[in-house]
Amino acid sequence: MTKEDCKKLVVDIIADIAPDEDLSTIKPDVRLRDQLQLDSMDFLDIVMELRKRHGIEVPETDYPQLASLDSCADYLTPKFATKG
């Protein structure tokens, strides 16, 4: 899975969690919570959906690495590679 695939996957999850958000203007290098109306429960929902849909476990210590779309892609790409 490429970094772009990972970004799309995260955007798809956000679209399900926060259907009223305009996701077309997300800047990949800016923290998601600075751009969208996401609270801590929404963030946990993203983590839970990653596990449920894709089998990706994200330990709580790694949550800061999911701050922006770019950082999500940097974090998730190797996870998918090892899932193979």
Reference 8, options 79, 72, 83; nearest CA is 72
pLDDT tens by residue, 1-48: 999 999 999 999 999 999 999 999 999 999 999 999 999 999 999 999
Q: What's the predicted TM-score (pTM) here? A: 0.93
Q: Which two tokens stand for residue 47?
A: 């983590």
Tokens 């290098």 locate to: 29
pLDDT at 83: 78
- 62: which residues sit within 8 A by CB, 6+ positions away? 75
Instruction: Report the pLDDT value the prediction gives residue 56, as an integer from 0 to 100.
Output: 96
Q: Residue ranges per domain, the chain?
A: 3-83
Pairwise CA distance, residues 16 & 70, whole Å: 20
DSSP state of 24: G
Give me 54's structure tokens. 């894709």
Superfamily of domain 3-83: ACP-like (1.10.1200.10)
